[in-house]
Chain A
């Protein structure tokens, strides 16, 4: 039987047959015109309510239905309200039904005509159900009419209607004479009304009524609706409804423990899952309900009695333990819905929840995230992320499932991937950061655009937070830029600069400079790489200037190859870098000058201004002042919340788990901060910080805004010509280049003069292959080193001689202790600064020495030398600060191995492969001597005596190759208690015609290969 009229069916058929959207809308227009005419024929007189009295009941219903249908199709229907109202006020049930449905679909609560249905609705609501005598009559059952009105009221929920009727709805709900059907609907209707206008109901007064409803009703349908209402109300006024917890626990335990449930409310044998879910959801609002439950509750305090707490915990554990995986998908859905709510309840209880339950939940979730069924896996992942946040122990629990989570990260489904990413973010900490971040980076390559930005941001935060080695952090961010540079926001690379600048300890700055040099060397690379590289090389390029192929002019060359492809923002950074390079290296000046000359006329204000100012600087100031201006930037002030966290906050909102996690500093971060604070505490650098050095992003803003702010009337060109360069630069020197100008502090800070650096590098390289020598020397201080090694162990003696005319005070030496070296230090009293306490340092009198002896053992391959920082004050008030490095490299621990040619070739072949082999070609500078046999003798001597390799003569038929083998000894032991050793092979090939050397190293360990290659290259260069 159909309640729909034929005319409507024909109309629908017409629409379905229409070939195009325009044909359809033409048909709709015709129909609308027809209906409009029917409703208001023009000649007939309309009734007082605006409806057309000549329409039959059937016609009116038919046309209103057509309007509803047209409305659902997406066309605007702005007439016919009068006819809808006429149907609502009708006495016939069939008309009322159509009327109310149309009312809630076609009209909105704010429509003015609504006021005209209030009376009808009210009387429909309040008409008490007529007595049973009416049962057989044709008059509509009143509870059906009540239901229609409630339903419509809930769907429309206009303010005016609510004000007029909420009391009636409350009354109907609590009235004993209302039928179950009516109670159900009135509960939900009331909930809807309170959602639209909160505080309609006073919790304190209404809670007892709800209590009655909960305790008196056995009808599960009514209970479900009442619970919905209760949950909604309790969300608004949580404390008022706490007294109802015992009722809720009681109902829940009936359902779960006794399975007390009418048959028809069993959904695939599960007792009304929706009711159970609602009950659990309500309980989640009271996280303190089970607090201190094993202490006797002595009145007051919690509203929940001891027996209820026990009951509740019993219920929750039963749900956890007894949920089975079922064959029926629907049964399993229902059961798991309850289970997940129960776990959410455990999450809400947090630390006050018994540990057994938490562990049980974690175990279950671990099972869920490994199933194939995507819904369960999805929910398992998202719930586990919540559960893991309770405390340390739960994070540990979740970490056991890391491998499983990583599998879901590669799922085809974006919803599952998002959850997996979120969970990984939550469980990431110092122990597993490298693994997780590397996995995320690997996944980023294949990740689709929809999730990339989120991933990049999260990877950047994790890498920073949990990096035990900041070099790894730098590498990670570089990878991010390479893989998806477009998603790496400015704040991410600004952060890299901040971190590198603020961590002078270790060799981070040199490492960053070296890595970025390599990254920016290819002709094509992402613009963000160019920016970071430009900034870092400008600041710390001098640390790598002595490495082969990375001299100042090389640095300029690799940066400048990108000049024509980058935008003006990047060019501005490049210009500052060029100024710094030109300042450091004589050979760069002729290269830089033409760039400046050209860019002086740049259309971009920023580029133009920087060029003009740097060019003018040399003429206007003394060389010392220029030197100061172009010195390295002082450390950045640490802000509590990094820019990255702020971004995360923007995208995820305050309540996001990720944000909470990101804002708590990790252990490593705290350690780093402490270390940095110590490093800075004695130096005058602090003053620079106080003098307002701001984080880089703010400075950039300043750069852009400053010129226009200060000279609103000046033309830009005018300024660029630099009519008065001295005045201009004076005022804006620091802004223009981002350089610090405030070294005119009371104490003078003296670092290593730039001109000394080449000599130092040479001394360092020499010492790497010779047992003793001078590491550093200037007019005040000489540092000598003697070192010897047996297997994995070594002894280094360092002598600090005072060459000055007065004592050196507060003399301190701080030696970086990397993980791969076990060190013991001994020395002149107070000389060693171990970072534990603020030692005053010792005094070294004129013409005397301070001594430092280090005993060490190597435990793992490495490719860098530990740093040694010397600080002291002179009587003249100068503070000296020399960051040096100990000549302690991998080749120090070699033991020669003599192999016959066959064995050498066999091993050489077996070590083929990307990770194991390292190769570099070095072209000698044009002024170098030719490669002859004598040179080759020196090379072979270096390999044998300096690098301590055993020469393998038989493999070198011509004089132009040198091959050698050695073992790298470490003190670390493998599982059987044997020392771990790494076999190393090296082969140097000379090409006299090209005046070049090629060094190839093959070892079992990539770091070893790299280290040996580097030392060989440097030594060979020194031998010329």
Chain B
């Protein structure tokens, strides 16, 4: 199974952390992220995408499978039950889904839409298992969710929708 998914940027700032096998305590969780970052970031892109670095919090025999896109490392920590190349493909699917949803995804999208990133990931991986790999149905599920979300928002007071708009503008102005 997938023990955890971590997205960190080139300088080690975590952008998404999803641990399917619980690591208790903020301290230890941070040390997992640090350890993963340290091990992955020292490897040039010409190396293979596998690293048998041990992350003791997850137990022995955990393999890190990662891909490096521009400023971000997508790191999946998996046990021996997963297909090595299958996970690489899964990362690709995840990134393609993000790319379609945000049209040309970049690090800022992950920062300011962390909720959506979580939703997309939830449609791909659930509880450490691969849920869906078909990009269309992943995006379909996300669109359905958003539509329903908006529907339920529209029923609420007008202040909400003003907020939504200003959020959008604000994001555009500052970034």
Contact = CB atoms under 8 A, between A and B. Distances in A.
Given A140-B152, A144-B145, A188-B126, A221 B50 contact: no
B84 A340 contact: yes
B159 to A, nearest CB: 7
A92 B152 contact: yes
A74 B15 CA distance: 11
For the residues of A in contact with B, the DSSP-based class is helix
B134 A94 contact: no
B60 interface: yes
B110 to A, nearest CB: 11
B6 to A, nearest CB: 11
A221 B26 contact: no
B87 to A, nearest CB: 9
Contacts of B35: none
Nearest to A101: B118
Interface string A326-359: 0000100110110011000000000000000000
A264 to B, nearest CB: 5
A337 B51 contact: no
Contacts of B155: 92, 138
B83 A341 contact: yes
A195 B1 contact: yes
B88 to A, nearest CB: 6
A133 interface: no
A288 to B, nearest CB: 21
A57 B149 CA distance: 13
A337 B167 contact: no
Contact of A12 (B24, B111, B156): B111
A264 B113 CA distance: 27
A938 interface: no
Interface string A10-33: 101100100000000000000000
Contacts of A92: 152, 155-156
B89 interface: yes
A930 B60 CA distance: 72
Contact of A378 (B50, B129, B130, B168): B50
A4 B89 contact: no
Contact of A333 (B85, B116, B151): B85
A378 B89 CA distance: 16
A951 interface: no
B92 A94 contact: no
Contacts of B134: 220-221, 264-265
A587 interface: no
B22 interface: yes
Contacts of A12: 111-112
Nearest to B17: A72
Interface residues of B, number: 76
A333 B126 CA distance: 23
B156 to A, nearest CB: 6
B174 A185 contact: no
A993 interface: no
Contacts of A3: 113, 115-116, 146, 149
Interface in B14-70: 14, 16-17, 20, 22, 24, 26, 29-30, 33, 43-44, 46-52, 60
Interface in A91-109: 92-95, 97-98, 101, 108
Interface string A141-162: 1001001001100110100000
B85 A138 contact: no
B85 A221 contact: no
Nearest to B159: A58
A761 interface: no
A68 to B, nearest CB: 8
B60 to A, nearest CB: 7
Interface in B101-151: 111-116, 118-119, 122, 126-137, 141, 144-146, 148-151
Nearest to A13: B174
B168 A330 contact: no
Interface stretch (A266-274, A291-299, A962-970): A266-274
B126 A340 contact: no
A97 B83 contact: no
B112 A2 contact: yes
B26 A375 contact: no
A375 B85 contact: yes
Contacts of A334: 85, 89
A337 B83 CA distance: 7
A191 B89 contact: no
Interface string B148-175: 1111111111011001101110110010
Contacts of A896: none
B81 interface: yes
A72 B114 contact: yes
Chief secondary structure at chain B's binding surface: helix
Given A188-B127, A267-B89, A277-B86, A272 B152 contact: no
A337 B89 contact: yes
Contacts of B115: 3-4, 65, 98, 101
Nearest to A277: B83
Nearest to B22: A108
A1 interface: yes
A416 interface: yes
Given A374-B47, A377-B48, A58 B160 contact: yes
Contact of B131 (A1, A188, A281, A413): A188
B132 A1 contact: no
B84 A57 contact: no
A6 B172 CA distance: 12
A706 to B, nearest CB: 38
Contact of B167 (A9, A181, A413, A415): A9
Contact of B145 (A5, A13, A97, A341): A97
A58 B89 contact: no
A73 B14 CA distance: 8
Contacts of B84: 337, 340, 375, 379
Contacts of B129: 188, 191-192, 225, 228, 232
A57 B131 contact: no
Given A2-B113, A9-B112, A101-B118, A340 B167 contact: no
Given A4-B112, A6-B170, A74 B149 contact: no
B165 to A, nearest CB: 9
Chain A CB within 10 A, most for which of B14, B126, B133, B166: B126
Interface string A220-255: 110011001001100100000000000000000000
A235 B128 CA distance: 16
B96 to A, nearest CB: 9
Contacts of B111: 12, 16
A787 interface: no
Contacts of A157: 127
Contacts of A224: 130, 132-133
A72 B144 CA distance: 26
B89 A330 contact: yes
A1012 B46 CA distance: 53
B131 A185 contact: yes
B130 to A, nearest CB: 6
B149 A93 contact: yes
Given A151-B122, A378-B48, 11 more contacts: A1-B164, A3-B149, A57-B156, A94-B149, A140-B152, A184-B131, A277-B83, A334-B89, A340-B84, A378-B50, A379-B84
The list of the 10 closest CB pairs from A to B, nearest first, reads A337-B85, A154-B127, A374-B48, A192-B127, A413-B47, A378-B48, A6-B167, A94-B152, A277-B83, A92-B152
Interface of A: 1-6, 9-10, 12-13, 16, 56-58, 65, 69, 72-76, 92-95, 97-98, 101, 108, 138, 140-141, 144, 147, 150-151, 154-155, 157, 181, 184-185, 188-189, 191-192, 195, 220-221, 224-225, 228, 231-232, 235, 264-265, 267, 272-274, 277, 281, 330, 333-334, 336-337, 340-341, 374-375, 377-379, 412-413, 415-416, 418, 653
